[in-house]
């Protein structure tokens, strides 16, 4: 179980349509934000009095002697590709597993007693996938580190959920992140425009991130960045001097954490702001996810914020 | 630099390694903290690395310095090895014990205060380092070094145990002047332990104490505070003065000798001053070791009264015909200080005084009064009847020679104009040896040239006219004698004014001394008519120079009616007797006073039961000596011949038992310490407090205190540095959750 019941219950009150205006061929409930780009789906509807006759499909009238309007705003389904970071840095967490999992289970299946960023990322991925699937939209998923590790093809079938869950039941690898390469490999398998949910701690160079986002934008996809960070990474509340060891091959460093706390916080906050600014500069959404906070409110808040932004863009 | 505790110093140096070891131990293998955002940790560390390294280095150095300072401070470093306690030069101790009369004070406890001083001195000795040089100085006048600076503590302890109280006053000023370092140890520290109650009878704040602090590298004076003393009341016989030092017994055993009149002065001190009291005075004549006569009197004290006087008269028929020195003793009731309840005086008993009358004229019994010359008036006045204690011997002016002068006690020169010029030096020698000379003015001289030889022989600083001055109006005598006259005529002082009233003077020689104190009598107009002087001030302790008395009025009816008036007989008698008594040196001394002159070269043997030695021999060198114990002593010259007796009395100044003001003592004693205050101890056990203070003094000049203060400052700095380096509770900005 990756979704806490409270998370699912909270998310159930929202619909992903608040985000996307896409009229898919399968559900037809969403308005596509990719107006003018989607030519694969067109629809006719009976003419009613008052409709603009410029949109009448005269060919249909010739064949069937009935008046139908040719719809220019075509509705499409939403393809969501969830990219989950499986690099070594994601295998870190300071929250107790028993507290975060919401169940009586005190340790993970593999015996860990801490709730890692990867655990939280998989929860985010599962939540997004579940919501999308429950709305009949197609979901695909990619796990990556220095390259894509697994790929679940887009589908809206019920079996997709099981495939995604199975794909997420892996361990992070002891490798650094190479987001640009993973994005390149993912985009190579995606032909139509879709929404990419990137769930990662974003511990990448800003240049690499910029190049990756530019590639996504160039291919016309939308990107939602979920930056997953542990509480201790945000506050750095370590008291005793100790050797610090990284998860992606960094050298061990003996430090007094209180002595460098301010500098550390300055550095990580500057990085996070830069990532957020970078995403916004491409028109992408950004959400910081704290592993010590419940996921439901975070996602709900994010989706509500995103809906509001879409409505404002529509009105304008 | 040396250390008081070298082992401690070595350990302290070794302890410097402790912070280094702790620093290394802090770098021991800890359980690594796995952290994902290492790239930001590394980035932050690289920014702070130099500052952190500097902080850690400063902290480590501060801790090393702190440990080193504490260790060195406890090790007691000293700049000079001469101050080490193990070194004989490090600390000199001078124990000053008050053995004066005042220290014999006995309060409610049975032991005297001197016993307490001795106990305290012994306690100090028993706790001193064996290598510490100690000197013992006794305070009673004259102060003396009982034991010079020595590490022979056993000798010092023996000397302390042998201390006996003296009857002299304490001389703290003199005792402090004896505090001197050994010649090769001028850089040593010194501690003076002053064991005295410091009552008013033992101190003399009016006396300036010399600064002796420069004799030592450092000087500390420790004394017991007078605030812990118990008040004590005491009455002292401060003076015993016989009205005549020579008592004439006469040749006639059927006539009782004249009574001996005594003037006694008392003072009291302590709480008793505030109360009414009665003191009984018992005066007696001590002939040898027995008492022959005594009398009693009482003195009633009023509240607030500190001084009292009494006059007693002693009569003893058995004194007739005993030409010898006799002791008068006066006793009062016992009180807190027993030593000053007895006082003695020595008088001289004589059958008669022989007076030589220098005159060329022969006294004829059938001659009328109108034919009386000056010598005749004098003869008649001095020996009015057979058996009189004063006998006269006629001496022709040409017969004045040393053998003749040696057989008389006084010389009355009635016709000085007849005295050959070469006789005046012999007369001067006679006076120089204690005789008295009364010079009358001759009546039949128009021009008086004779006194040139007299003034020259006696070196008199007088101006005497050559011609007599006849007065227009007869001059009366001044109703009161001058100061010199009051002393000479003390016995008739009460009647003098009445006796002088009928005396008139018509003619006189103008005589003016350089010193107004030489005037004995003068007229009511203020013109001197009688002068007296002691020609030589070279008095010794045994014989003093006699008096020269000059009467500027001739005993002639043309000059004055004095010979015919009642004043004349007592005036002549008193002049002869008083001048003879004054020529006899006082045979009474104060215990502790230094003897000088012939007296210092005599052997003294004890003639009364008292403490102290039984015999005092003259010192081998011409140094002054003193007798510290009261009593009667027999004098013997170098040939063994007895030269009479001498009485030594307790010093009356030592009898003041009032408690001194502490501030007065501090101000006074601080003069010796270059205005540094002495340490006055209030504790009940002075010895313990003194030892504690000495321990502090021993280490007082070490560098320990500055080092420990520096360590304290460094500890504060270390605390601040450690807090800064720990970055605890440092406000953190920019935490995003």
Among all residues of chain B, which has the CA nearest to that of A92? Answer: B36
Tell me the backbone φ, ψ of residue B446, rounded to 5 degrees.
-80, -45
Residues A143 and A41 both lie in one domain:
no
Task: Please judge whether A258 and B37 are an interchain contact, meaning their C-beta atoms are less than 8 angstroms apart.
Answer: no
A127 shares its domain with A255 = yes
Q: Which residues of A touch B32 (CB under 8 A)?
A: 242-245, 252
More confident residue, A40 or B598: B598
Do residues B469 and B561 share a domain?
A: yes
B32·A233 Cβ contact <8 A: no
Which residues of chain B does A89 touch, with a Cβ-Cβ cutoff of 8 Å?
36-37
Residues A257-271 have pLDDT tens digits of 888 888 999 999 999
Phi, psi angle pair for B444, to nearest 5°: -100, 25
Both A293 and A185 in one domain: the answer is yes
Q: Residues A55, A198: one domain?
A: no
Dihedral in degrees, nearest 10, Cα atoms B71, B76, B81, B83? 180
Same domain, B491 and B368: yes
Q: Å from A283 to nearest chain B CA?
A: 23
Is A245 in Cβ contact with B32 (below 8 Å)?
yes
Contact B27 A254 (CB under 8 A): yes
Q: Which residues contact B500 (CB under 8 A, 6 or more apart)?
A: B476, B477, B478, B479, B567
Angle between helices A257-281 and B38-75 (to 10 degrees): 160
- Chain B residues whose CB is inside 8 A of the A264 CB are 37, 40-41, 43-44
Q: What is the mean pLDDT of chain B?
A: 82
Q: How confident is the model at residue B671 (pLDDT cuts 50, 70, 90)?
A: confident
- Provide, as residue numbers in chain A, all residues whose Cβ is less than 8 Å from the Cβ of B37: 89, 201, 203, 229, 233, 264, 268
Q: State mean pLDDT over B269-278.
A: 90
Give the torsion through C-alpha atoms of A85, A86, A88, A91, to 10 deg.
Answer: 100
Distance from CA of A48 to the nearest CA of B (A): 55
- Of A71, A88, A108, the last residue of a domain is A71
Pairing outcome for strands B603-606 and B615-616:
antiparallel
The verdict on B454 and B369 lying in the same domain is yes
Q: Is the pLDDT of residue B211 over 80?
A: yes
Phi and psi at B78, nearest 5°, equal -135, 150
pLDDT tens figures, B396-439: 999 899 999 988 889 999 999 999 989 999 999 888 877 889 99
Q: Is A206 on the interface with B (CB under 8 A)?
A: no
Do A231 and A86 lie in one domain? The reply is yes
Q: Which helix (H) or strand (E) holds A79?
A: strand A79-85
Domain match, B435 and B462 both: yes
Main-chain phi, psi angles of A53, to 5 degrees? -75, -10
- The reply to whether B39 touches chain A by the CB within 8 Å rule is yes
Minimum mean pLDDT among A38-42, B27-31, B50-54: which range? A38-42
CB B320 within 8 A of CB B349: no
B389 contacts: CB under 8 Å, gap ≥ 6: B248, B249, B250, B251, B258, B350, B351, B352, B353
Contact yes or no for A235/B737 (Cβ under 8 A): yes
User: What confidence tier does B331 reach under pLDDT thresholds 50, 70, 90?
Assistant: very high
Q: Name the residue with higher pLDDT: B516 or B607.
A: B516
Beta-carbon separation of B30 and A259 below 8 A: no
Which of A 66-95 lie inside 8 A of B, CB atoms? 88-92
Average pLDDT over residues B329-343: 89
Using the 3D structure, point to which of B335, B350, B365 is the last residue of a domain. B350
CB contact A17 to B (< 8 Å): no
The two three-digit tokens of residue A309, written as one number: 């932004």
Residues of A in contact with B42 (CB under 8 A): 250-251, 253
Which has the closest alpha carbon to B697: B681, B711, B710, B685?
B681
Choose the weakest-confidence range: B77-86, B200-209, B618-627, B711-720.
B77-86
Whether residue B123 contacts residue B157, with contact meaning beta carbons closer than 8 Å, is answered with: no
Q: What pLDDT, on the 0 to 100 scale, is given for residue B437?
A: 92
Q: Which residue has the higher pLDDT, B586 or B646?
A: B646
Question: Which residue among A242, A247, A263 sits closest to B47, beta carbon to beta carbon?
Answer: A263
- Say if residue B301 is in the same domain as residue B249: yes
Task: Check CB contact of B370 with chain A, cutoff 8 Å.
Answer: no
Share above pLDDT 70 across residues of chain A, in percent, rounded to a whole number: 79
* Domain end position, chosen among B583, B611, B632: B583
- Contact B736/A233, CB-based, under 8 Å? no
B30 vs A: CB within 8 A: yes
Chain center to CA of A148:
16
Map tokens 């009032």 to a residue: B658
Q: What is the structure's pLDDT at B150? A: 85
Q: Please give the average per-residue pLDDT across B331-345, as a whole number.
A: 89
Per-residue tokens: B687: 């010895």
Statement to judge: residues A64 and A202 lie in one domain: no
pLDDT given at position A21: 25
Q: Give chain A positions within 8 Å (CB) of B727.
A: 256, 258-259, 261
CA dist B190 and B215 (Å) reads: 9
Which residues lie closer than 8 Å to B351 by C-beta, 6 or more apart?
Answer: B248, B249, B250, B251, B321, B323, B389
Q: Which two tokens stand for residue B706?
A: 């500055």
Contact B457, B451 (CB under 8 A): no
The alpha-carbon gap from B225 to the nearest alpha carbon of chain A, in Å, equals 60
Please report how many Cα atoms fall inside a 13 Å half-sphere around the Cα of residue B381, on the Cβ side. 26
Distance between CA B8 and CA B702 in Å, rounded?
15
Does residue B516 sit in the same domain as residue B527?
A: yes
The arithmetic mean of pLDDT across residues B205-219, rounded, is: 86
Compute the average pLDDT of residues A216-241.
90
**CATH code (residue A230):** 3.40.50.410
Contacts of B370 (CB under 8 A, 6+ apart): B557
CA distance linking residue A258 with residue B625, whole number of Å: 86
Summarised one tens digit per residue, pLDDT across range B354-363 is 899 998 876 6
Q: Alpha-carbon dihedral of residues B694, B696, B697, B703, nearest 10 degrees?
A: 160
Q: What burial letters (b/e) apply to B280-309, b meaning 16+ CB within 10 Å?
A: ebebbbbbeeeebbbbebebebeeeeeebe
Reported as a pLDDT band with limits 50, 70 and 90, residue B79 is low
A31: pLDDT strictly greater than 50? no
Q: How confident is the model at residue A211 (pLDDT cuts 50, 70, 90)?
A: very high
How many A-B residue pairs are in contact by the CB < 8 A criterion? 126
Touching check for B42 and chain A: CB below 8 Å? yes
**Is A245's CB within 8 Å of B35's CB?**
yes
State the Cα–Cα distance between residues A91 and B42, nearest whole angstrom: 19
> Which domain-ending residue is among A71, A93, A109?
A71
Do strands B260-269 and B353-358 pair parallel, antiparallel, or not at all (unpaired)?
unpaired
Nearest-CA distance from A117 to chain B in Å?
A: 10
Which tokens in the block code for residue B471?
């007065």
Domain that holds residue B716: 2-79+703-726
Q: How far off is chain A from B71, nearest CA to CA, in Å? A: 30
Segment among A17-21, A57-61, B255-259, B518-522 with least mean pLDDT: A17-21
Q: Nearest residue on chain A to B26, judged by CA atoms?
A: A241
* Number of domains chain B contains: 5
Which residue from A minimizes the CA distance to B730?
A258
Cβ pair B730:A252 closer than 8 A: no
Contact between chains at B39 and A203 (C-beta distance less than 8 A): yes
Nearest by CB to A264, which of B44, B725, B733? Answer: B44
Whether B543 has a pLDDT exceeding 90, the answer reads: no
* pLDDT, position A83: 94
Cα atoms found within 13 Å of the Cα of residue B192, Cβ hemisphere only: 32
What's the structural domain count of chain A?
Answer: 2
CA A119 – CA A101 distance, rounded (Å):
9
Same domain, A199 and A187: yes
B675 vs A260, higher pLDDT: A260
Q: Which of A90, A243, A258 sits opposite B30 (nearest CB)?
A: A243
Give the tokens for residue A23: 């009229």
For residue B692, what pLDDT band results from cuts at 50, 70 and 90? low
Q: Are B559 and B425 contained in the same domain?
A: yes
Q: Which domain holds residue A39?
A: 18-71
Cross-strand bridge partners of residue B725: none
Q: How far is CA B619 from CA A140, B325, B624, in A?
A: 132, 26, 8
Q: CA of A128, closest CA in chain B: separation in Å?
A: 22
pLDDT for B88: 43
Query: Which class for B365: exposed (0-12), middle (13-18), buried (19 or more C-beta within 10 A)?
Result: exposed
Instruction: Quote the CA–CA distance of B109 and B86 in Å, as a whole number.
Output: 40
Report chain A residues whose CB lies below 8 A from the CB of B731: none
Residue B499 confidence (pLDDT): 92
Hey, is B223 helix, strand or coil?
Answer: strand
B723 versus B426: the higher-pLDDT residue is B426
How close A232 gets to chain B, by Cα (Å)? Answer: 9
What pLDDT sits at residue B523? 92
Strand partners, B268: B235
Instruction: Average the pLDDT over each of B196-200, B274-278, B317-321, B396-400 and give the range with the smallest value.
Output: B317-321
pLDDT tens digits, residue range B710-719?
888 888 888 8
Answer whether B96's CB lies under 8 Å from B194's CB: yes
Q: Distance (Å, rounded) from C-alpha B280 to C-alpha B266?
A: 11
Nearest CA in chain B to A91: B36
Closest Cβ opposite residue A244 in set B27, B38, B48: B38
**CATH code assigned at B413:** 3.40.50.880
Q: Would B736 be classed as within a structural domain?
A: no
CB contact (8 A) between residue B41 and residue A260:
yes
pLDDT of residue A278: 94
Measured between CB atoms, does B731 come within 8 Å of chain A? no
Tell me how far apart the alpha carbons of residues B35 and A91 are, in angstroms, rounded to a whole number. 9
A131 and A271 share one domain: yes
B696-712 pLDDT per residue, tens: 655 545 677 788 888 88
Interface check A265 vs B, CB under 8 A:
yes
Q: Are residues B727 and A242, on separate chains, in Cβ contact within 8 Å?
A: no
- My answer on whether B51 and B88 are in the same domain is no
- DSSP for B244-309, written as a single string: -SEEE--S-TTSPPPPEEEEEEEEEESGGGGS-EEEEEEEEEEETTEEEEEEEEEEEEPTT--EEE
pLDDT of amino acid B137: 94
Residue B679 pLDDT: 83
Kindly report which listed range (A152-161, B67-76, B83-92, B205-214) carries the lowest average pLDDT score.
B83-92
- Tally helices (H) and strands (E) across chain B: 16, 33
Does A100 lie in the same domain as A32? Answer: no
The nearest alpha carbon in chain A to B34 belongs to: A245
- Predicted local confidence at residue B92, as pLDDT: 85
Collect all residues of chain B within an 8 Å Cβ-Cβ radius of residue A261.
44, 727, 730, 732
Q: Among A29, A52, A71, where does a domain finish?
A: A71
Contacts of B47 in chain A (CB under 8 A): 260, 263
Listed range (B85-99, B264-278, B452-466) with the worst mean pLDDT:
B85-99
Query: How far is residue B42's CA from residue A126's CA, in Å, rounded to a whole number?
Result: 34
- DSSP code of residue B343: E
**Confidence class of residue B129 from pLDDT cuts 50, 70 and 90?**
confident
Residues B49 and B189 in one domain: no
Report pLDDT for B551.
94
pLDDT tens digits, one per residue of B290-311: 557 788 889 999 999 999 999 8
In whole numbers, what is the pLDDT of chain A averaged over residues? 78
CATH number assigned to the domain comprising residue B328: 2.60.40.2030
Q: What is the pLDDT of residues A90-129, one digit of tens each?
A: 989 988 888 877 666 777 777 788 888 988 898 888 888 8
Residue B735 in domain? no
User: What is residue B536's predicted lDDT score, i.e. its pLDDT?
Assistant: 66
**Measured between alpha carbons, how far is B694 from B190 in angstroms, rounded to an integer?**
10
Distance of CA B179 to the CA centre of its chain: 19
The 10 Å Cβ neighbour count of residue B332 is 19
**What pLDDT, on a 0 to 100 scale, did the predictor assign at position B734?**
38
Q: How far apart are CA B284 and CA A292, in angstroms?
A: 117
Residues A84 and A28 in one domain: no
Rounded to 10 degrees, the C-alpha dihedral A44/A48/A50/A51 comes to: 0
Beta strand B91-97 with B134-138: parallel, antiparallel or unpaired?
parallel
DSSP assignments along B107-143, one per residue = -SSSSBHHHHHHHHHHHHHHTS-TTS-EEEEE-BSSP
User: Same domain for A134 and A59?
Assistant: no
- Record: contact B45-A260, CB cut-off 8 A: yes
Shared domain for A206 and A309, answered yes or no, is: yes
Residue (of B431, B406, B424, B416) closest to B357 by Cα position: B416
Same-domain status, B165 and B178: yes
At B128, the pLDDT band (50, 70, 90 cuts) reads confident
Alpha helices (H) along B288-390: 374-382
CA distance B45 to chain A (A): 6
User: What percent of chain A is predicted at pLDDT more than 90?
Assistant: 24
> Same structural domain for residues B531 and B555?
yes
Asked if B52 and A256 come within 8 Å (Cβ–Cβ), the reply is yes
Which of the listed residues B526, B552, B583 is the one where a domain comes to its end?
B583
Q: How far is A8 from chain B (nearest CA, A)?
A: 23
Q: Is B44 on the interface with A (CB under 8 A)?
A: yes
Of B524, B530, B525, nearest in space to B478 by CA: B524
Interface of A with B in 104-143 (CB under 8 A): 117
| ipTM associated with this complex | 0.78
Nearest to B735 among A238, A259, A265 (CB): A265
Residue B170's pLDDT band (cuts 50, 70, 90): very high
Question: Are A244 and B35 in contact (CB < 8 Å)?
Answer: yes
Q: Name the residue among A246, A87, A250, A272 with its Cα closest to residue A177.
A: A87
pLDDT of residue B158: 93
> Which of A203, A245, A251 has its CB closest to that of B37?
A203
Same-domain status, B715 and B684: no
Choice between B49 and A85, residue whose per-residue pLDDT is larger: A85
């Amino acid at each position: 179980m990756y979704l806490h019941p409270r998370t699912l219950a909270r998310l159930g009150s929202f619909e992903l349509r608040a985000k996307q205006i896409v009229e898919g061929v399968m559900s037809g409930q969403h308005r596509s934000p990719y107006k003018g780009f989607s030519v694969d789906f067109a629809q006719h509807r009976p003419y009613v009095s008052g409709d603009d006759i410029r949109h009448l499909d005269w060919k249909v009238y010739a064949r069937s002697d009935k008046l139908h309007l040719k719809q220019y705003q075509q509705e499409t389904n939403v393809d969501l590709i969830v990219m989950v970071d499986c690099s070594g840095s994601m295998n870190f967490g300071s929250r107790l597993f028993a507290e975060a999992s919401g169940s009586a289970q005190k340790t993970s299946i593999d015996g860990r007693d801490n709730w890692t960023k990867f655990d939280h990322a998989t929860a985010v991925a599962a939540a997004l996938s579940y919501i999308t699937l429950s709305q009949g939209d197609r979901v695909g998923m990619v796990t990556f580190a220095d390259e894509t590790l697994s790929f679940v093809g887009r589908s809206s079938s019920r079996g997709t959920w099981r495939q995604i869950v199975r794909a997420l039941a892996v361990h992070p690898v002891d490798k650094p992140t190479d987001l640009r390469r993973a994005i390149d490999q993912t985009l190579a398998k995606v032909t139509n425009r879709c929404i990419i949910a990137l769930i990662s701690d974003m511990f990448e160079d800003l240049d690499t991130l910029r190049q990756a986002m530019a590639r996504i934008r160039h291919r016309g996809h939308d990107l939602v960045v979920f930056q997953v960070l542990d509480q201790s990474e945000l506050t750095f509340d370590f008291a005793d001097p100790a050797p610090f060891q990284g998860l992606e091959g960094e050298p061990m460093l003996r430090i007094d954490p209180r002595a460098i706390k301010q500098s550390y916080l300055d550095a990580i906050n500057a990085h996070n702001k830069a990532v957020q600014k970078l995403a916004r500069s491409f028109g992408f959404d950004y959400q910081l996810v704290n592993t010590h906070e419940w996921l439901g409110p975070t996602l709900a808040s994010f989706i509500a914020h995103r809906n509001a932004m879409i409505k404002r863009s529509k009105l304008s | 630099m040396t250390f008081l505790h070298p082992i401690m110093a070595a350990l302290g140096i070794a302890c410097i390694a402790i912070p280094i070891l702790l620093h290394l131990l802090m770098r021991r293998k800890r359980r690594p903290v796995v952290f994902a955002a290492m790239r930001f940790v590394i980035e932050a560390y690289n920014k702070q690395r130099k500052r952190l390294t500097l902080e850690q280095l400063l902290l480590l150095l501060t801790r090393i310095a702190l440990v080193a300072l504490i260790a060195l401070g406890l090790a007691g470093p000293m700049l000079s090895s001469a101050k080490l306690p193990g070194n004989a030069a490090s600390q000199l101790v001078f124990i000053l014990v008050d053995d004066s009369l005042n220290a014999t004070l006995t309060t409610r406890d049975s032991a005297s205060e001197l016993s307490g001083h001795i106990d305290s001195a012994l306690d100090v000795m028993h706790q001193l380092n064996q290598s510490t040089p100690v000197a013992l100085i006794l305070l009673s006048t004259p102060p003396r070094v009982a034991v010079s600076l020595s590490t022979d503590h056993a000798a010092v302890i023996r000397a302390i145990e042998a201390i006996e109280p003296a009857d002299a006053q304490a001389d703290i000023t003199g005792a402090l002047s004896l505090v001197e370092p050994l010649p090769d140890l001028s850089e040593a520290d010194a501690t003076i332990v002053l064991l005295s109650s410091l009552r008013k009878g033992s101190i003399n704040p009016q006396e300036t104490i010399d600064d002796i602090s420069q004799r030592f590298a450092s000087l500390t004076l420790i004394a017991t505070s007078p605030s812990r003393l118990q008040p004590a009341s005491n009455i002292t016989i401060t003076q015993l003065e016989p009205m005549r030092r020579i008592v004439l017994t006469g040749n006639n055993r059927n006539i009782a000798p004249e009574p001996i009149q005594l003037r006694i002065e008392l003072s009291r001190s302590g709480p008793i001053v505030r109360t009414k009291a009665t003191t009984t005075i018992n005066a007696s004549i001590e002939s040898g070791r027995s008492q022959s006569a005594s009398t009693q009197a009482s003195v009633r004290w009023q509240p607030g009264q500190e001084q009292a006087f009494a006059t007693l008269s002693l009569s003893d028929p058995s004194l007739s015909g005993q030409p010898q020195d006799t002791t008068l003793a006066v006793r009062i009731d016992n009180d807190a200080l027993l030593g000053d309840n007895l006082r003695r005086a020595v008088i001289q008993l004589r059958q008669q005084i022989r007076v030589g009358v220098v005159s060329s004229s022969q006294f004829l019994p059938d001659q009328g009064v109108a034919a009386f010359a000056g010598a005749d008036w004098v003869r008649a006045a001095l020996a009015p009847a057979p058996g009189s204690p004063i006998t006269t011997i006629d001496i022709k002016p040409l017969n004045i020679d040393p053998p003749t002068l040696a057989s008389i006690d006084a010389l009355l020169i009635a016709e000085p104009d007849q005295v050959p010029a070469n006789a005046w030096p012999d007369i001067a020698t006679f006076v120089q040896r204690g005789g008295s000379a009364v010079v009358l003015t001759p009546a039949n001289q128009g021009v008086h040239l004779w006194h040139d030889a007299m003034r020259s022989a006696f070196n008199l600083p007088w101006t005497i006219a050559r011609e007599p001055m006849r007065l227009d109006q007869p001059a009366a005598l001044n109703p009161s004698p001058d100061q010199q006259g009051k002393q000479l005529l003390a016995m008739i002082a009460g009647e003098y004014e009445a006796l002088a009233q009928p005396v008139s003077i018509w003619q006189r020689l103008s005589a003016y001394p350089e010193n107004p104190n030489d005037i004995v009598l003068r007229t009511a107009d203020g013109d001197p008519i009688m002068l007296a002087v002691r020609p030589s001030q070279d008095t010794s302790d045994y014989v003093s120079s006699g008096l020269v008395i000059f009467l500027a009025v001739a005993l002639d009816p043309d000059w004055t009616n004095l010979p015919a008036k009642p004043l004349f007989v007592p005036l002549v008698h008193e002049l002869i007797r008083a001048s003879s008594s004054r020529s006899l040196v006082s045979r009474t001394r104060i215990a502790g006073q230094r003897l000088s002159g012939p007296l210092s070269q005599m052997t003294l043997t004890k003639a009364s039961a008292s403490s102290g030695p039984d015999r005092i021999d003259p010192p081998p060198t011409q140094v002054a000596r003193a007798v510290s114990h009261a009593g009667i002593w027999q004098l013997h010259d170098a040939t063994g011949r007895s030269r009479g007796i001498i009485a030594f009395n307790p010093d009356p100044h030592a009898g003041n038992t009032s408690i001194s003001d502490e501030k007065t003592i501090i101000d006074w004693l601080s003069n010796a310490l270059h205005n540094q205050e002495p340490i006055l101890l209030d504790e009940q056990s002075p010895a313990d407090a003194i030892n504690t203070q000495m321990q502090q003094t021993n280490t007082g000049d070490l560098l320990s205190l500055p080092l420990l203060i520096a360590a304290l400052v460094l500890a504060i700095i270390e605390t601040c540095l450690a807090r800064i380096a720990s970055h605890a509770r440092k406000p953190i900005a920019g935490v995003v959750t």
